[in-house]
A and B are shown apart, each in its own frame.
Chain A
Amino acid sequence: MSSSVPPVSAPTSTTAAGPSAPARVRRGRRYGRAVDRRTALAIPAGALLLALAVWPLAQLGSMSLHTVSAATLNSTWDFVGLDNYAAMLREPDFGQVVVNTVAFVLIVTTIGMVGGFMVAVAVLSSTRGGSFLLGLMVFVWALPPVVNGSIWKFLLADQGLVNQALRALGGQGLGFLYDSKFALWSVALVNAWAVVPFNALVLRAALLGVDPQALEAAELDGARPWQRAWHVLVPAGRTAATVLTILTIVYAFRSFDFIYVMTSGGPGTASTTLPFLAYSEAFLTLDYGRGAATALIALLVVVVLTLIYARDVRRTEGEA
């Protein structure tokens, strides 16, 4: 393979040492003006970021180190060091809440990704059924979580449609939302159901890049459908799936709305996760200091995942 060298036009005024001094000055001015313009354009966004993200985060950090309640919110806060964190760890339910959070993330991520991939494969072809399913998914995805959660709350109630169907089939009703063994699972499954359409849409976009001839060749070689999916489609969607997995974990980790609507973290604390615990401490018991400490711990996990995501995106762009 020969390499071709593109023609390079000679600078109009250069020396062996580089551009002439006036040219350097002109270029320096142009560069300076470009930097000025970029800086000026970045200032509003930077200031907004400072005001709406960095400053509140700093406040959150400060709150977590002080005793802050509704009564003291507008006055001087007493510095208590890491007491709020220690109190959070001493809380009898804290261990259970952490386990709930991990279980919730695992359920949502696993079902969200596997379900998303399966649906993406199902709607890959432009058949009428595939298009209908695609439209249906966009509808589900566009539903606000509060509406979605409320609908499922009715469906999973003791006298709801799901239990009525179970009883009609000769089974027993299940306490989907009120039995402490099922409540977390129920909310997590609904949350996973809500994330499947988004994952399917993203994965479908990635799978559309697969050469149909590769699938045909595999079929001619006698590969079964699942083998074609595993050996051809899965490798093709791997890059998108990696990024999507991290996004799904973050989505699951910070999930609050479905829990709020469907179980309020209950029964007792059976479906309470870290974000819901932070909400409960800050806005129900009005202990903002403790709520801030819990929220920061939850935030740290999200930040770590975000850094992994950012690194992955950069690596993918580098490969591209």
Chain B
Amino acid sequence: MRNARLARALVALVGTATLGLAACSSGSGGTAGGSTTLTVWHYYNTDGQVQGLERLATAFKAKHSGVHVQFQYVPVEQMTTKAVTAAGSKKGPDVLVFGASGTYPLAQAGAIKPMDDWWSTYPSAKQFPDGVLQKIDGKLYGVQGYVNLLGLWYNKDLLDQLGAQVPTTIPEMQDVMAKAVKAGKQGITLTGKPGLESQWQGFPWFTSNGFTYGDAQAAPMAQTYTMLQDWIAKGYLSKEAATWDQVAPFQQFTAGSSVFAVNGNWQIAAAAQAKFTYGVAPLPITSQGGVLLGGEVQNVGAFSKHPDLAKEFLEDAFFSVDGELTLLDAFGSIPAHAEAAASAKISNDPILSVFGKIVQQQGRPSPSPQVPSKSVDKVETLVGNYWSKAISGQGKPDQLANELIDQLKPLLQG
């Protein structure tokens, strides 16, 4: 009797737990009622990005009847952990669209597999530059179907009003910002929130001063922090930038409050809301400086139930000329496919054509190849945090730069 009661309690518990686990489980879609579901994990969250995905899915479904493409949004900071955890229980999506810094942990955790065999037989593979191929130990773990990068957005009406030209050097830019402040406007908006985004934002400026991850020295960083704090002291840049992500500062720019904004090509739809004439120019950095070529990486999930269909989806959606031009229309991403990059849609567009030139002139691979793969997240977060500290004035430039380099060096040694 006693045993029977215990057994009943245990069965009830196991039943409840099983139901709970079943409800919580996630991962690759299956085949039900004659239709196949292809799951895609991504972290796109702007309207343009989501619409772009929907258009890709519609085009794919038109060619593959009975296939349903299911997009699952995963917040960017949770993507790697979620995919790694799923891989631990041999689960995961059919397709992963992830940040480049996640390539190493995802590969090591087995959430993605090398795609060399597939890529070597893909007819258009040669159309993609090496910079968009994410490799670890010589093996290909992902391809960026497009790139995103930073440029200098400017308010043309305000420049004309100030009698200024688009700057090509930092001193020229500072002169314009001084005029803007005198006219009651801000000089520039940029990102300063602690974390990865700020590393991306800071990279052009500190590399312009001679910093490299291959030989990390404090002096170029101190010079960069001095420049930032000088901009704040003179009113060119709001100290509030220390909390700005990439969305808030661009909203300020489109509202007409600043003459410049350091922001990306994905803001092309948001820029259209501005009630003034605007343009984009390369950042006025030195020839030593570079702009990181971001953009999401794509690969088939290691535990995909439909790997062949997933490959086909990626080839059609992210790696084809049509697919990349769809994403270009949706949110201004610069195609990595050479044929798509040569499209008139880019060369005839005054904004996109400039971003295309920036790729050629200032583009640098992301993550930086000198950063050991296993330290990418730590290095980028650390550098981003110190960028934020410099903006908020949490220390003098020399002190901050020395602190940063002390922590950075062991990480860069691998």
Q: Which residues of B contact A (CB under 8 A)?
A: 1-2, 5-6, 8-10, 12-13, 16-17, 77-78, 80-81, 84-85, 87-88, 102, 104-110, 192-196, 238-243, 374, 377-378, 381-382, 385-386, 388-389, 391-394, 403, 406-407
Q: Are B10 and A267 in contact (CB under 8 A)?
A: no
**Is A130 interfacial (CB 8 A cutoff)?**
no
Q: Are A37 and B5 in contact (CB under 8 A)?
A: yes
**Is A115 interfacial (CB 8 A cutoff)?**
no
Q: Are B240 and A178 in contact (CB under 8 A)?
A: yes
Among candidates A73, A175, A265, A268, residue contacting B88 with C-beta atoms closer than 8 Å: A73
Among candidates A72, A266, A284, A287, residue contacting B108 with C-beta atoms closer than 8 Å: A72
Known contacts: A41-B9, A264-B194, A268-B392. The answer to whether A74 contacts B242 by CB under 8 A is no
**Is A125 interfacial (CB 8 A cutoff)?**
no
Among candidates A36, A43, A264, A286, residue contacting B193 with C-beta atoms closer than 8 Å: A264
**Is A252 interfacial (CB 8 A cutoff)?**
no
Known contacts: A74-B84, A266-B194, A267-B392. The answer to whether A36 contacts B2 by CB under 8 A is yes
Known contacts: A92-B407, A266-B193, A286-B377. The answer to whether A73 contacts B109 by CB under 8 A is yes
Q: Are B10 and A284 in contact (CB under 8 A)?
A: no
Q: Nearest-CB distance from A276 to chain B (Å)?
A: 10
Chain A interface category by residue count: 35 or more
Q: Are A268 and B243 in contact (CB under 8 A)?
A: no
The secondary-structure label for the interface of chain A is: loop
Q: Are A286 and B105 in contact (CB under 8 A)?
A: yes
**Is A158 interfacial (CB 8 A cutoff)?**
yes
Q: Are A40 and B9 in contact (CB under 8 A)?
A: yes
Q: Are B240 and A284 in contact (CB under 8 A)?
A: no
Complex Cα distance, B388 from A115, in Å, reads: 34
Q: Are B377 and A285 in contact (CB under 8 A)?
A: yes
* A178-B238, A270-B392 known, 16 other contacts, Cβ within 8 Å: A36-B1, A39-B6, A44-B16, A70-B81, A71-B374, A74-B84, A75-B108, A92-B407, A183-B392, A266-B385, A267-B192, A267-B242, A269-B194, A269-B385, A285-B378, A287-B378
Complex Cα distance, B53 from A252, in Å, reads: 41
Q: Chain A residues near B392: list those with CB within 8 A.
A: 178-180, 183, 266-268, 270
Among candidates A48, A158, A268, residue contacting B194 with C-beta atoms closer than 8 Å: A268
Known contacts: A44-B9, A180-B394, A266-B392. The answer to whether A70 contacts B2 by CB under 8 A is no
Q: Are B6 and A40 in contact (CB under 8 A)?
A: yes
Q: Which residues of A contact B (CB under 8 A)?
A: 36-37, 39-41, 43-44, 47-48, 51, 69-75, 92, 157-158, 175, 177-180, 183, 263-270, 280, 283-287
Q: Are A74 and B394 in contact (CB under 8 A)?
A: no
Q: Chain B residues near A74: list those with CB within 8 A.
A: 84, 87-88, 109-110
Complex Cα distance, B1 from A177, in Å, reads: 64
Complex Cα distance, B98 from A200, in Å, reads: 46
Q: Nearest-CB distance from A162 to chain B (Å)?
A: 13
Q: Are A36 and B5 in contact (CB under 8 A)?
A: yes
Q: Chain A residues near B10: list those with CB within 8 A.
A: 43
Complex Cα distance, B315 from A320, in Å, reads: 73
Give 19 CB contacts A-B under 8 Å: A36-B5, A37-B5, A40-B6, A40-B8, A40-B9, A43-B9, A44-B12, A44-B16, A47-B13, A48-B13, A70-B80, A73-B88, A158-B238, A175-B240, A177-B243, A179-B239, A266-B194, A268-B242, A285-B377
Q: Nearest-CB distance from A63 to chain B (Å)?
A: 13
Q: Chain A residues near B374: list those with CB within 8 A.
A: 69, 71
Q: Are B12 and A268 in contact (CB under 8 A)?
A: no
Q: Are A267 and B389 in contact (CB under 8 A)?
A: yes
Q: Chain B residues near A280: list those with CB within 8 A.
A: 381
Q: Are B394 and A284 in contact (CB under 8 A)?
A: no
Complex Cα distance, B238 from A180, in Å, reads: 14
Q: Are B84 and A70 in contact (CB under 8 A)?
A: yes
Complex Cα distance, B88 from A264, in Å, reads: 29
